[in-house]
Structure 1
Amino acid sequence: MEAVLWQVLAGTRGGPNRARILRALDDRPRNANQLAEDLDLAYKTVRHHLDVLEENDVIESTDREYGAIYLPTDRTLNHWETIEDIIEQVD
């Protein structure tokens, strides 16, 4: 899991935005539209990053497609210290 976190949060240009999204979701679960508004990002950008995070089992969503709520997976929460280290280096 640590390698995956390093890749998605620090290994690509989109890492800083994914880190912001992950922090926001740790604060409270939200849908893509709420994240776009709260983080001042384009909706399509947020959707792309949510897809990357979900494909890598960093976040999970509710069953509903439209308005799905996203939150960190248990696996991600178990590695939160690593995430904080990565975010610190990305900032």
Structure 2
Amino acid sequence: MADPDARRLLWFLFAGSRGGENRIRIIDLLKEQPYNTNQLAEKMGLDYKAVQYHMTVLEKNNMVTKAGEKYGVLYFISNYLEHNIDAFYEVKAKIDRKARK
């Protein structure tokens, strides 16, 4: 069972703010493999600065971790998110259902 604080944080990051949809897409990509900011921007068709902003928000909230330096930095989903991944899927599913209405 997910930590209730984690669930609240996930709601805030992914449903309660304008960039939530892009942050969900970023997490979905990082679950498959690590990426750097430039690779994410290319893969998502977004501006580098926009992806950089989302990565900062996700890192500050312990959703992603990074390894490497400067342009070689690779992002991974964090152990915290890994531990609360069911809550992430739950929030994502509810957001998807709302979007389809």
For the aligned pair, the TM-score class normalised by the smaller chain equals over 0.9
Residue 59 of structure 1: aligned partner: 64
Q: Does 1:29 align with 2:34?
A: yes
The separation in 2 between residues aligned to 1:29 and 1:23, in whole angstroms, is: 11
The separation in 2 between residues aligned to 1:64 and 1:79, in whole angstroms, is: 27
State the secondary structure of the residue aligned to 1:66.
helix
The separation in 2 between residues aligned to 1:63 and 1:35, in whole angstroms, is: 16
Residue 13 of structure 1: aligned partner: 18
In structure 1, runs of 5+ residues without a counterpart are none
Q: Does 1:76 align with 2:81?
A: yes
Q: Offset of 1:4 from its aligned partner?
A: 1.3
What is the aligned-residue identity percentage?
Answer: 35
Q: Is the 1:32–1:67 contact (alpha carbons within 8 Å) kept by the matching residues of 2?
A: no
Q: Offset of 1:42 from its aligned partner?
A: 0.9
Rg comparison, structure with higher value = 2
- Taking structure 2 as the reference length, what is the TM-score of the superposition? 0.84
The separation in 2 between residues aligned to 1:77 and 1:33, in whole angstroms, is: 23
The separation in 2 between residues aligned to 1:69 and 1:22, in whole angstroms, is: 13
Name the count of aligned residue pairs.
91
Q: Offset of 1:39 from its aligned partner?
A: 1.1
- Taking structure 1 as the reference length, what is the TM-score of the superposition? 0.93
Q: Is the 1:32–1:43 contact (alpha carbons within 8 Å) kept by the matching residues of 2?
A: yes
